[in-house]
Amino acid sequence: MAGILEGRVAIVTGAGRGIGRGMAVELAKEGAKVVVASRSQGSIDETLGEIEAAGGTATGTVCDVGNHDHIKATVAKAVETYGGLDIMINNAQAFGTLEKPDPSPVLTGIEDFRDEEWDRTLLTGVTASYRFMKAAFPCLKASGRGRVINLGSNWGQFGNAGSVAYNAGKEAIRGLTRTAAREWGQYGITCNVYNPAIETDAMRNHIKEHPEESKAALLTVPVRRWGDIYKDGGRIAVFIASDDAAFLTGMTFMVDGGMFMYP
């Protein structure tokens, strides 16, 4: 029996690890041909190995989403390798600066926040998502069932203290996504945001370093666990990319076990 994404082509940025890897692997399991985009060839190879072991089809490309030429080359590789593009997942996000990257936001008040960090955060977040969407649009339109999934964050929704650039960028992504949903729906393209609370390597490191704080944070999640990159993160992406979600657009999917509920 064919997978529900059989015959479709997907790009997943930041697919070398964490949520991006989970999405890439699960999309491939459902028959999508996946372009695994990440800054590190080593992490790309690990994700490709998982996809191959699961019987899926994928290729990799080194991509810094802060580089416009890399973005155009990644879309071109999908078209050249697999003949088109149906699913665009903008997951990658850099922190810190180009010269001194950080694995996650270093909490700093607005008055002391570095301008160069602001620039890098928005360049690799909302601007990269915008550029990938523009580059992918002709293919998504030709597909007739195009899917855009952009990664947001509940930090932006509640204004997490100390992460002004990340918060602003993630909320801007929601505005970008809703606008595209209105403009592109006529072409069969859906555009949605995915706000996760998924356990990644960075989160596990934080839990080890701050056990009591992490225990208290987990109590705010009604299901009392963090999401898994495959069975939660990956499977929700599969649903949004599938025909079953063809009537859902402009939405923010809270993939967080009920942590952030709002009317």
* pLDDT tens digit sequence for 106-135: 999 999 999 999 999 999 999 999 999 999
The answer, yes or no, to whether residue 161 has pLDDT greater than 70, is yes
Mark whether 194 is an active-site residue. no
CB-CB contact of 26 with 237 (8 Å): yes
The answer, yes or no, to whether residue 49 has pLDDT greater than 80, is yes
Sheet hosting strand 9-13, strand order edge to edge:
57-62, 33-38, 9-13, 87-90, 147-151, 190-196, 252-255
- Delineate the domains of the chain, giving CATH numbers in brackets: 9-249 (3.40.50.720)
Q: What is the DSSP letter of 230?
A: I
Q: Greater confidence, 122 or 1? A: 122
Q: What is the DSSP letter of 107?
A: -
pLDDT tier at 210 (50, 70, 90 boundaries)? Answer: confident
pLDDT at residue number 207 = 87
The answer, yes or no, to whether residue 1 has pLDDT greater than 70, is no
pLDDT at residue number 262 = 79
| Candidate list 82, 130, 166, 194, residue with the active-site label | 166
Alpha-carbon span 219 to 98, nearest angstrom: 36
pLDDT tier at 104 (50, 70, 90 boundaries)? Answer: confident
